[in-house]
Amino acid sequence: MRGRDRLFSVFLVALAFAVGARAEDLQPLPGKAACVAGPTALCLNGGRFRVEIAWKDFDGRTGAGRASALTDDTGTFWFFDPANLEVTTKVLDGRAVNGNWWFFFGALTNVEYRITLTDTVTGARKIYRNPAGRFASQGDTEAFPAAAESFRVLVFTRTTGFRHDSIPDGISLIQTLGAANGFSVDTSEDTAVFTPQALSAYRAVIFLNTSGEVLNGGEQAAFEAYIRQGGGWVGIHSAADTEHVWPFYGDLLGGGAWFVSHPPIQTATLRVEDGTHPSTRHYPARFSFTDEWYNFQTNPRNAVDVLLAIDETSYSPGSGAMGDHPIAWCHRIGLGRAWYTALGHRSETYAEAAYAQHILGGILWAAGQP
Ligand SMILES: [Zn+2]
């Protein structure tokens, strides 16, 4: 092994000290010999698992990386990822990372971690992290408890502008999705929940047809920190007609793509641009949909991953026609995840199975689920 590769293995062994005890409850890969853990080997069943690490340090600096795995015949695998090692050094207050195991443990005292193991066969995901607000201490194996299988989301529906009649339908849909998919759903129009402590209970906050200016300065600061430190955001329809003068919200939405105008409700043709995302992979390559089609202030394409786009030749977009016209997208922001769909004006929409899958996929992605 080259020196840098070995260093990263040592780093992951340090993590294995914490993670390994929990990893065995994941099912072994059929046909693989039992893994034998060694001084530089972490047994996670034959490279079946993808390992992603996100962290922040005391100074608020954040980073994320992915450990790649090479599997040998015994099912043991080694981590090689010099690129991640480079990123890792950023958490250490600028100090070089070239020590031994204990040096790494020393380094661990300075950060909060979230380690995500994804079973690439079943899609099951387990998340390990030190408790919120608590930094890992040297040799502290309890600093990485398995996250609960379930999680909470907040549906936020405050409006100070147009109010959609479909808001109760959206709440009902998301509650149904939560009950069927193992997550809890709180709803609120009260901005008092936008504090660091209250937001920390949620893996994602869903802006369901919000409108106008809905948060004050302190609430905005709490929400921005929540997102940058790993929170999820889901924006539905007039979430794009919200917080027009808050620059961070434009970034969260994606490239400042605020709502600007819409023609009358029409049926149009949508094109799937990403057929692998959990919010779009169930759709055919092109499909018809009836909605109030938003034109956006900017084209977000350069700032986001476009999931759906609308074919402007299939309807009358009016004076705000965009040409290239994304209609649903997602992107990372800090350690957080943001997912937006313009679909969702009409009450009828919330009763459609395919739309329900679209929203579910967006929520799970934003919440860091498979
Ligand atoms: Zn609308």
* Contact between residue 16 and residue 37 where contact means Cβ atoms under 8 Å apart: yes
**Cα of 246 to ligand 1 centre, how many Å?**
21
**Cα of 211 to ligand 1 centre, how many Å?**
10
193 and 139 share a domain?
no
d(CA 15, CA 81): 15
Helix-helix angle 353-366:167-181, to 10 degrees: 70
**Cα of 236 to ligand 1 centre, how many Å?**
10
DSSP 17-83: HHHHHHHTTSPPPTTPPPP--BTTBB-STTTTEEEEEEEEETTS-EEEEEE-EEE-TTS-EEE--HH
Instruction: Give the mean pLDDT of the chain.
Output: 73
219 and 282 share a domain?
yes
What is the structure's pLDDT at 368?
85
| Spatial strand order in the sheet of 286-291 | 183-188, 151-156, 204-208, 232-236, 336-341, 326-333, 305-311, 266-272, 286-291
**Cα of 313 to ligand 1 centre, how many Å?**
21
- The total number of structural domains in the chain stands at 2
164 and 109 share a domain?
no
Confidence of residue 60 (pLDDT cuts 50, 70, 90): low
From residue 14, give the alpha-carbon distance in Å to each of 40, 144, 294, 355: 9, 12, 50, 43
Confidence check: pLDDT of 110 > 50: no
Prediction pTM value: 0.64
27 and 168 share a domain?
no
Whole-number CA gyration radius for the chain: 22
**Lowest model confidence (mean pLDDT) among 54-58, 118-122, 271-275, 347-351:** 118-122
**Cα of 182 to ligand 1 centre, how many Å?**
29
Q: Which residues contact 201 (CB under 8 A, 6 or more apart)?
A: 152
**Cα of 318 to ligand 1 centre, how many Å?**
16
Mean pLDDT for 299-312 is 97
Containing structural domain, residue 236: 151-366
**Cα of 158 to ligand 1 centre, how many Å?**
15
Report the percentage of the chain scoring pLDDT > 90: 54
pLDDT tens-place string over residues 278-301: 999 999 999 999 999 999 999 999
291 and 342 share a domain?
yes
89 and 157 share a domain?
no
What is the structure's pLDDT at 50?
55
**Cα of 193 to ligand 1 centre, how many Å?**
25
d(CA 174, CA 208): 10
pLDDT tens-place string over residues 212-243: 999 999 999 999 999 998 899 999 999 999 99
Domain with residue 268: its CATH number is 3.40.50.880
**Cα of 345 to ligand 1 centre, how many Å?**
4
Question: 317, 328, 269: which is closest to 293 by C-alpha?
Answer: 317
Q: How far is CA 154 from the centre of its chain?
A: 15
75 and 206 share a domain?
no
Token pair listed for 233: 């955001």
User: 143, 175, 202 — which closes off a domain?
Assistant: 143
User: 109, 125, 143 — which closes off a domain?
Assistant: 143
**Cα of 237 to ligand 1 centre, how many Å?**
7
**Cα of 343 to ligand 1 centre, how many Å?**
9
48 and 178 share a domain?
no
Token pair listed for 345: 């004006």
Q: Where are the alpha helices (DSSP H) in the chain?
A: 3-23, 82-88, 101-108, 167-181, 196-199, 217-228, 247-253, 353-366
**Cα of 319 to ligand 1 centre, how many Å?**
17
336 and 198 share a domain?
yes
Give buried/exposed letters for 271-305 (b at 16+ CB in 10 A, else e). Answer: bbbeeebbbbeebeeeeebbbbbbbbbbbbbebbb
**Cα of 342 to ligand 1 centre, how many Å?**
9
What is the structure's pLDDT at 206?
98
With 0-12 / 13-18 / 19 or more C-beta atoms within 10 angstroms meaning exposed / middle / buried, residue 310 is buried
157 and 272 share a domain?
yes
d(CA 366, CA 370): 10
**Cα of 330 to ligand 1 centre, how many Å?**
20
315 and 174 share a domain?
yes
What is the structure's pLDDT at 65?
53
* Contact between residue 28 and residue 45 where contact means Cβ atoms under 8 Å apart: yes
Instruction: Give the residue with greater pLDDT, 175 vs 148.
Output: 175
What is the structure's pLDDT at 244?
97
What is the structure's pLDDT at 95?
30
Helix (H) or strand (E) holding 123: none
Mean pLDDT for 337-359 is 96
241 and 272 share a domain?
yes
Helix-helix angle 3-23:101-108, to 10 degrees: 60
**Cα of 366 to ligand 1 centre, how many Å?**
23
**Cα of 219 to ligand 1 centre, how many Å?**
25
**Cα of 292 to ligand 1 centre, how many Å?**
6
Q: Which residues surround ligand 1, an ion (CB under 5 A)?
A: 292, 345
**Cα of 350 to ligand 1 centre, how many Å?**
13
DSSP state of 115: E
User: 143, 163, 181 — which closes off a domain?
Assistant: 143
